Amino acid sequence: MITFNISQWRAWAPGLQTPAQWHAWAAGDTPAPATGQVPDVSFLPAMQRRRLSHLARMAFAVAWPLVDGLQDVPLVFVSRHGETPRTVEILSELARQQPLSPTQFSLSVHNAVIGLWSIMRGETSEMTAIAAADDGFEHGMLEAAGLLHDGAAAVLLIIAEDQPPATYTPWIDDVPFAYAVAVLLTPGEQWQLSPAATGGQPADLPHALNWLRASLNGQAVFTHPGKRRTWNWQHQP
């Protein structure tokens, strides 16, 4: 079992940006369609914004405000599918026998988001990019808790998934909509997380979104079944 506090959180999805909108969503409201909506990263210079994919924009939009004024904050970034839209674009260029952009390729790798974060914030603390299956959120929590145990005063955790290209629709069924969730972890015993070595029926939402819904609804105990293990969550008021 690991324990930690979560001092702040932020989340973004089309039509879901403010805490009030997320509380309404957690209560069962369906957000109005928000076609073409993009995350607000106006706090970055225009030249830097141009380098960010939609996935990176989501991650920056939710995470940047959480560490405003803080320094030396380790980062754990979690995404199962990563920069899939950018990768498909590169593969399409190859199929058309077009020359590839070195910049596009360098920004398509799984740790591109944390690389851009390090450059744009001048952050040199430890950073980790994780690609896991359905329980990547919990694996990110384990990594962050380890950094707290090693002496970090706070750790930033980001989980983000972009809407996959239509080409991958038959194989990617765990992204109901594009979303990003960021939490700032600090030492404490507010939250308890422990795994059990049995799987079960998967949760109806990605674990990060299910955690957010349960938290906003005041659930003190809930579980996230996965293919190989079940994660038990407990919140102490």
How many CB atoms neighbour CB 32 within 10 A?
Answer: 8
The answer, yes or no, to whether residue 201 has pLDDT greater than 70, is: no
H-helix or E-strand spanning residue 201: none
- Residues 2-187: name the CATH superfamily: Thiolase/Chalcone synthase (3.40.47.10)
Q: Domain ranges for the chain, please list them.
A: 2-187
The answer, yes or no, to whether residue 205 has pLDDT greater than 70, is: yes
Task: Indicate left, alpha or beta for 72 from its phi (over 0: left) and psi (-120 to 50: alpha).
Answer: left
Q: φ, ψ for residue 147 (rounded to 5)?
A: -65, -40
Q: φ, ψ for residue 233 (rounded to 5)?
A: -110, 140
Structure tokens at 155: 């750790």
Band (pLDDT 50/70/90 cuts) for residue 114 is very high
* Whole-number CA gyration radius for the chain: 18
Going from the C-alpha of 194 to that of each of 4, 88, 122, 197, the distances in angstroms are: 12, 37, 34, 10
pTM, two decimals, is 0.90
The answer, yes or no, to whether residue 202 has pLDDT greater than 90, is: no
Q: What is the mean pLDDT of residues 51-63?
A: 93
